[in-house]
Amino acid sequence: MAPPLLFLRDIHLTFGGTPTLEGADISIAPGERLCLVGRNGSGKSTLLKIAAGLIEADKGERFVHPGATVRYLPQEPDLTGFATTLAYVEAGLGPGDEPYRAAYLLNELGLTGDEHPANLSGGEARRAALARVLAPEPDILLLDEPTNHLDLPAIEWLEKEIGSLRSALVLISHDRRFLENLSRATVWLDRGMTRRMDRGFAFFEEWRDQMLEEEERDRQKLDRKIVAEEHWVRYGVTARRKRNVRRMANLAALRQERRDARRVTGTVRMTLTDGEESGKLVIEAVGVNKDWGGPPIVKDFSIRVARGDRIGIVGPNGAGKTTLLNLLTGVIPPDSGRVKLGASLEMVTLDQRRESLDPETTLSDTLTGGGSDYVEVGGERKHVVGYMRDFLFSPEQARTPVSVLSGGERGRLMLARALAKPSNLLVLDEPTNDLDLETLDLLQEMIGDYQGTAIVISHDRDFLDRVATSILMSEGDGRWTEYAGGYSDMVAQRGAGVARKMAEKAEAPKESTPLPAAVPERSVRRKLSFKEKHALETLPRKIDDLAAKAAALHERLADPSLFAKDSKKFGQLSHDLAKVESDKTKAEEEWLALEMLREELEG
């Protein structure tokens, strides 16, 4: 095995109170794809900062191979001191790096390079920071939540871009699909220590549960041994006044070992308080139109939402997902058309930016409304400290202001407040932001068992696959289409939506200006090979054949009753369509690359 480019050994760090890291290890070999997982607050970001050299550990060893380049993506990048985003990205390039990649990556991430850092939103700043760390193609990439603030097209593009790099990778993310597709090894940070599995994240949860079961068995053995020794102390030697000193010392050591063993942090306990049953028809929208004085956000949109539906709303940033959600729930009126809400609706909303949380209010008052120590949950009074424990808040945090909470803690607080209210319509705008994987699991189960109706906006593909019964997808120009099933079913029916969009972007004149620079100089001096010429001639026919097959499958899947009558057949046809669309996209991309190369060579 190749020697590591970077390793951390026996890392200890304490910020006061309980140690954050107690003997954590990590090792990164050339080209290795590693994901770092653990609960919110377990120290993942801290360990990554130590790996990047930004924090010094109290104890332990850090080694970086001489000459190895390391790039670190923080959760909150600092762009101060730079005139434009392009200048910020170019400042991260080394002497031998390709300068064209700065403009290319900014363009792919939806930025022009001319933006002033002071005017950027949080999401735009993250995109610029992503371009800065990816542009040099470093030996080691340390990425802390790279998908935060990215929409689905950008996430899928980023996944493909990182997959094409030869850099070693250490990745922290709450996006399951992103972790599964990119990781080849997993490091679990738990109670200050790390455990490694040389398999990707797809196998993590089974391995983690097995480790915890073994740990619980060892703890039970230790408990039984302590009980046996205590029994001997009390009753074992009744004829002797002086007890065996060695056995007493062993008992003290066993008790100390028991005290030192840090138990697994408790799990979130979520229960939704169901309201009265709503009518069978929850929402009906007919011919709805909406714009804000510019291009249409929603155009001639109609839908019927029945009780028990789980609707996922997806699309790129700026497509109008939140506007559509507000139209469907009656928060804003349409410009034309009508929206009818069903009878006996009790709606609970979780907003995207946590704006309804008062930063100066304490956790206790946020949950109780102030003036009481009890929360009404499911018609029963529950003490606020006990309810806080269900969402992993300690009793000491009851009087803590909301302003000092982390993003993950604010997400849990919003969930705790929303779920205490009786409802039969659950409206969630980006509920998965900043939630750890275990909390996401429980949220998915809770929505699955919910007796009412749920409408969810999310960029988390795995979450949508597990929760949604249908997907509302933005097709552009204010058009929205409903697809049966989860996110993967939508992609199969719609085709390679993101790939198609990227291809259209490549063909647009304003987007293609930096691309010629990406062609190496030596390519200009050669001619097309026989194989490339043959591919240029035959690929259009192949693309037409695949398009015909896709059209035929689309026609069969368009039958609205197919999913209800034969879900297996629907799944098989969706799978076949995904394969055909994938082959078609690859053929189109191959033809486009060859055609651009031909133009470069002839030009």
> The tokens of 592 are what?
């486009």
* Sign of the alpha-carbon torsion through 357, 359, 360, 363: positive
* 317 has binding-site annotation: yes
Average pLDDT over residues 427-450: 78
12: enclosing H helix or E strand? strand 6-13
Between 11 and 515, the more confident residue is: 11
For the CA atoms of the chain, what is the radius of gyration? 28
pLDDT band at 515 (very low <50, low <70, confident <90, very high): very low
pLDDT band at 32 (very low <50, low <70, confident <90, very high): very high
CB of 334 within 8 A of CB of 298?
yes
| pLDDT at residue 300 greater than cutoff 90 | yes
CA–CA gap between residue 62 and residue 11 (Å, rounded): 8
Count the neighbouring beta carbons within 10 Å of the beta carbon of residue 442.
16
Q: State the DSSP string of 65-80.
A: -TT--EEEE-SS---T
pLDDT band at 149 (very low <50, low <70, confident <90, very high): confident
* 322 has binding-site annotation: yes
CA–CA gap between residue 471 and residue 462 (Å, rounded): 13
> The tokens of 312 are what?
């996922």
What letter does residue 344 receive in the DSSP assignment? T
pLDDT band at 524 (very low <50, low <70, confident <90, very high): very low
- Give the model's pLDDT for residue 270: 53
- Give the model's pLDDT for residue 521: 35
* 39 has binding-site annotation: yes
CA–CA gap between residue 246 and residue 249 (Å, rounded): 5
* 290 has binding-site annotation: no
Average pLDDT over residues 588-597: 77
CA–CA gap between residue 134 and residue 102 (Å, rounded): 9
Name every residue whose Cβ is closer than 8 Å to that of residue 496 and which is 6 or more positions away in sequence.
581, 582, 584, 585
Average pLDDT over residues 5-12: 93
* 316 has binding-site annotation: yes
- Give the model's pLDDT for residue 269: 58
CB of 5 within 8 A of CB of 28?
yes
* 410 has binding-site annotation: no
Q: Could you tell me the domains of the chain? A: 6-206 (3.40.50.300), 281-485 (3.40.50.300), 493-602 (1.10.287.380)
CB of 521 within 8 A of CB of 603?
no
| pLDDT at residue 501 greater than cutoff 80 | no
- Give the model's pLDDT for residue 53: 93
Strands (E) across 401-504 are located at 425-429, 453-457, 470-476, 479-484
- Give the model's pLDDT for residue 499: 42
* 318 has binding-site annotation: yes
Across 449-459, b (16+ Cβ under 10 Å) vs e yields ebebbbbbbbb
| pLDDT at residue 526 greater than cutoff 90 | no
| pLDDT at residue 83 greater than cutoff 90 | yes
552: enclosing H helix or E strand? helix 530-557
Look at the block and give the residue holding tokens 């679990």.
Answer: 188
pTM metric for this prediction: 0.66
> The tokens of 529 are what?
């090979």
What letter does residue 30 receive in the DSSP assignment? T
* 43 has binding-site annotation: yes
pLDDT band at 382 (very low <50, low <70, confident <90, very high): confident
- Give the model's pLDDT for residue 396: 79
Average pLDDT over residues 288-313: 91
- Give the model's pLDDT for residue 94: 84
Q: Where is average pLDDT lowest: 86-90, 105-109, 226-230, 356-360?
A: 226-230
* Sign of the alpha-carbon torsion through 569, 572, 578, 583: negative
The residue length of the chain stands at: 603
Count the neighbouring beta carbons within 10 Å of the beta carbon of residue 372.
13
Q: Where is average pLDDT lowest: 393-402, 494-503, 562-571, 585-594?
A: 494-503
- Give the model's pLDDT for residue 407: 65
CA–CA gap between residue 197 and residue 187 (Å, rounded): 6
Average pLDDT over residues 366-387: 80
| pLDDT at residue 513 greater than cutoff 50 | no
| pLDDT at residue 353 greater than cutoff 60 | no
Q: State the DSSP string of 171-211.
A: EE-S-HHHHHHH-SEEEEEETTEEEEESS-GGGHHHHHHHH
Number of helical H runs and strand E runs in the chain: 22, 20
What's CA 251's distance to the chain center, in Å?
47
Pairing of β 193-197 and β 185-190: antiparallel
* 319 has binding-site annotation: yes
Average pLDDT over residues 377-401: 80
Share of the chain above pLDDT 90, in %: 27
What is the average pLDDT score of the chain? 80
Which tens digit of pLDDT belongs to each residue from 178-190? 999 999 999 999 8
Among 53, 57, 75, 55, smallest CA distance to 6 is for 53
* 186 has binding-site annotation: no
- Give the model's pLDDT for residue 356: 67
Determine if residue 408 is left, alpha or beta; phi over 0 gives left, psi from -120 to 50 gives alpha, anything else beta. Answer: alpha
Between 543 and 441, the more confident residue is: 543
CA–CA gap between residue 456 and residue 458 (Å, rounded): 6
Which tens digit of pLDDT belongs to each residue from 237-282? 544 444 555 655 665 665 565 555 555 455 555 555 555 566 788 8
Burial of 278 (0-12, 13-18, 19+ CB in 10 A): buried
| pLDDT at residue 437 greater than cutoff 80 | no
- Give the model's pLDDT for residue 603: 59
- Give the model's pLDDT for residue 517: 37
- Give the model's pLDDT for residue 3: 82
